[in-house]
Structure 1
Amino acid sequence: MSRPADPAAAFAGAMAAAPPGPIGLAVSGGGDSMALLALAADWAAASGRALAAVTVDHGLRPESAAEAAMVAHRCAALGIAHDVLRWADRPPRGNLAEAAREARRALIAAWAARRGLAAVALAHTLDDQAETVLMRLARGSGVAGLAAMSPVSAAGGVVWLRPLLTVRRAALRALLRARGWSWVEDPSNRDPARDRARARAMLRLLPRLGLTPERLAMTARHMADARLVLDEAARQLAARAVLWGGHGEARLSPAALTGAPRAILGQLLADLLTAIGGRRHPPRLARIEGLIARLDDPPPAATLHGCLIRRAGAALIVCREPARAAPPVPLADGVTWDRRWRILGPAGAGLSVGALGLPAARAAGAGPGAEILATTPAIRSGGRLIAAPLLGPSAWRAEPVIPDARRRRVLTGL
């Protein structure tokens, strides 16, 4: 097996896929992201490309402000614009780590849009890729899951680059030491309660079996190639079997699914549920397998991954589960709500967008479609309903959104 690429050569090669325009860098102050900053600065000096860096301060550790200041100091020395974003709306309960990841991605996406960036580079390494494959193997993931992280992806209106996926973490630390740069170590990386920390510890044992990080990363590349074929087959199946309604729901024809290979059918169902359910990640493969097993004789109604699935004659209707719709958010022109709808129209003090709700949907005479309309966007002022863009003319428009570009191609061909 060939040796992992030299960091500078690997970075320059990967950045050939970057779109034209200024590039953003997500820099936390950790070793990987500081190495990303160093390599990007060299690359920009040679290529003439403009850079901007960002640090998200989640406020979860006392040291986070000082770490952001360290990054700012280094960026200033390099002549690279740097911004610090702070997470202000932490949830009072729930999975804090997952919420932090979601918030970080959303904050960076909004920052990239404000700065007019062509793409944002992330500092995931070959070691991160190997850990991801190992964790997904433990979960019984299929082809899409084992493809792990893509070198280039598009989601949330942003092109995300991972130019260090072929570079070992140790090589990046060596680069920083050679330059005399400091970095910080996140203590959560050693927390045995976290899946990634356990996977990292396990990776130190697996080379005895010949299962090196390089081989696990190679598996991810093979699975990514297989996913391209699977995506195209799922797109063709969607064109035959899925009919989109006007309120974010889809009508699925079980007859059109008959005879489809399980892997293709599973990919289509996973993408459909993820898009309609407003989720970032697909359901576990075991849940999809369970759904496939019931397609020949489905129950009258079931819920899965934030979706309501119910029979309608010979078809299945898949819509957003009313109880899972996102809470209201302040209204702004172009705001995305529930990861499914983009609202266009005037903003104003006290205005919010949230779910229409079952009472209002029933009052509108929606009849058997009340569950569908209940999860569509509604504009309220101080809690009073003033408009439902999908029910009739108003000052606002609601456009359906599938944030993930790959999933959008599979489901709609766009």
Structure 2
Amino acid sequence: MRLDQVRAALDRRLDPASRAPLAVGFSGGGDSLFLLKTVLDWARPLDRPVLALVVDHQLQPQSTAWTAEAVAKARALGAAALGLTWTDRKPRTGLPAAARRARHALLATAAREAGARVMILGHTASDLAEGVAMRAEGSSVSNPRAWAPSPVWPEGRGLFVLRPLLALTRAEIREALTREGETWLDDPANLDLRYARARARAAGALAPPLPLREAPPPEVFEIDPAGAIRLPRDVVPAHLAAALLCASGAERPPRGDRLARLVERLRSGARFTATLAGARIEADQAVLICRDAGEAARGGLARLDLAPGACGVWDGRWEVVAGKTALAVVALRGRTSSLLAEQRARLSAIAPAVRPSLPVLLSLDGDAPGELVLDDLELEADGEARVRSLVPDRFKAAVGLLDQESVT
């Protein structure tokens, strides 16, 4: 069994000097049980805490009991454990995708609150093979990567996902657990042929695909303080998609056919302006990518209200922490004339396409909104509110520049 590859993946990605907890997605099934035991074996000599997170999707009558059993098992193995529940109304269509999104959001939120920077999940070579079969059937399920940013946004900001079991098949893992006398839970949904994964599993999708070849990080790019990204025209599609997501604050990447058409236009050398996935693209000698301020007319760039001391994310691009007074975060679009002359002068250094989607703060201390404040793009109210652009770190993570827990 290729346990050395699993250990190598943990050694490669994790920081042995860190004392932050390692979050592990744990269901009580065979893959996650093997994963939790492996992570605990790695972490114990380093005196590093491990937190097992168990998600109850509330899709099965027995799910509450299974969650309690999984939490108890994780604690018996030596991990801290926490049960999380998906309480939202379940959709009538697209349930598997909604459940995946909810699971990642619950895991990411709990991991961040615990101080973890890495969420470790138990995807295997068998999952890779099933994903190939599912996509052939028309599913939009993505290919799990060994190391990637959390797929949910903004809940997953600052959090990475590590999948160290991708070299092992499900059969190998269960053989190892059986030798150790372990038992595990089996989710009946894995046998429900209404779902694409169950059909792929029943069809015997066993042969893992060839390893993915990911594009190396870009050698040339710029991200300005306003969150606009500049790239060369020969940018590879994966990096272009990442720039569109990060600059727009969106979560879902552009469709492949639309992305391909945009790449083709960039390769042509033509000068043009376009919009895609909530981003504005201005192609000249280089490519400027920023938030599409036209989204405001379609309900985008929505106002964010924050109570004193509260933290929130505005438009998927800016993390805002209120000070002693309540705040509202709004787009600059249509409000430039309300700024002081000094503030308007500072805007001259920012590309015109970028300005309308900049955030500004309204102080809500009193019966009427207070004065708009914009100070070198570090927004303040009464000298205490804090604003941080999420675009730089998100883009660096998406293109592979942050490839270890300790790299910042």
Residue 110 of structure 1: aligned partner: 109
Residue 248 of structure 2: aligned partner: 277
Q: Distance in 2 between matches of 1:96 and 1:347?
A: 41
Contact 2:216–2:399 (CA under 8 A) maintained in structure 1: no
TM-superposed CA distance for 1:14, in Å, is: 3.1
Residue 187 of structure 2: aligned partner: 185
1:343 is aligned, of 282, 300, 320, to 320
TM-superposed CA distance for 1:400, in Å, is: 1.9
TM-superposed CA distance for 1:69, in Å, is: 0.4
Total equivalences in the alignment: 370
Per mean C-alpha deviation after superposition, the further-off stretch among 366-375 and 51-60 is 366-375
Residue 398 of structure 1: aligned partner: 387
Contact 1:29–1:71 (CA under 8 A) maintained in structure 2: yes
Give the counterpart letter for 1:14 in structure 2: A
Residue 53 of structure 1: aligned partner: 52
Q: TM-score, normalised by structure 2?
A: 0.72
Corresponding residue SS for 1:294: helix
Contact 1:248–1:319 (CA under 8 A) maintained in structure 2: yes
Give the counterpart letter for 1:163 in structure 2: P
Corresponding residue SS for 1:336: strand
Residue 153 of structure 2: aligned partner: none
Question: Are positions 1:304 and 2:295 aligned together?
Answer: no
Residue 356 of structure 1: aligned partner: 331
Deviations 1:225-257 (Å, cap 9, x if unpaired)?
xx2xx324xx22x43xxx5454333456xxx52
TM-superposed CA distance for 1:317, in Å, is: 4.5
Give the counterpart letter for 2:331 in structure 1: L
TM-superposed CA distance for 1:304, in Å, is: 1.4
Q: Distance in 1 between matches of 2:207 and 2:55?
A: 28
Contact 1:34–1:183 (CA under 8 A) maintained in structure 2: no
Q: Which has the higher helix share?
A: 1
Give the counterpart letter for 2:275 in structure 1: T
Q: Which runs of 5+ in 2 are unaligned?
A: 151-156
Q: Distance in 1 between matches of 2:228 and 2:90?
A: 29
Give the counterpart letter for 2:380 in structure 1: S
CA change 1:60–1:398 in 2 (3 A) is farther
TM-superposed CA distance for 1:290, in Å, is: 0.7
TM-superposed CA distance for 1:31, in Å, is: 2.9
CA change 1:197–1:404 in 2 (3 A) is farther
Residue 208 of structure 1: aligned partner: none
**Equivalent residue runs for 1:169-318 within 5 Å:** 169-178=170-179, 179-187=181-189, 189-192=190-193, 194-204=195-205, 213-214=207-208, 216=209, 219-220=210-211, 223-224=212-213, 227=214, 230-232=215-217, 235-236=218-219, 238-239=220-221, 244-250=223-229, 257=233, 260=234, 264-280=235-251, 282-295=253-266, 296=268, 301-309=273-281, 317-318=288-289
TM-superposed CA distance for 1:71, in Å, is: 0.9
CA change 1:201–1:286 in 2 (3 A) is farther
TM-superposed CA distance for 1:339, in Å, is: 3.0
TM-superposed CA distance for 1:340, in Å, is: 1.8
Q: Which runs of 5+ in 1 are unaligned?
A: 205-211
Q: Distance in 2 between matches of 1:393 and 1:44?
A: 40
CA change 1:53–1:404 in 2 (3 A) is farther
CA change 1:164–1:376 in 2 (3 A) is same
Contact 1:361–1:370 (CA under 8 A) maintained in structure 2: no
Give the counterpart letter for 1:26 in structure 2: G
TM-superposed CA distance for 1:82, in Å, is: 0.8
Q: Distance in 1 between matches of 2:28 and 2:39?
A: 15
TM-superposed CA distance for 1:168, in Å, is: 1.1
Give the counterpart letter for 1:356 in structure 2: A
Q: Distance in 2 between matches of 1:95 and 1:338?
A: 25
Contact 2:55–2:103 (CA under 8 A) maintained in structure 1: yes
TM-superposed CA distance for 1:283, in Å, is: 2.7
Question: Are positions 1:16 and 2:11 aligned together?
Answer: yes
Q: TM-score, normalised by structure 1?
A: 0.71
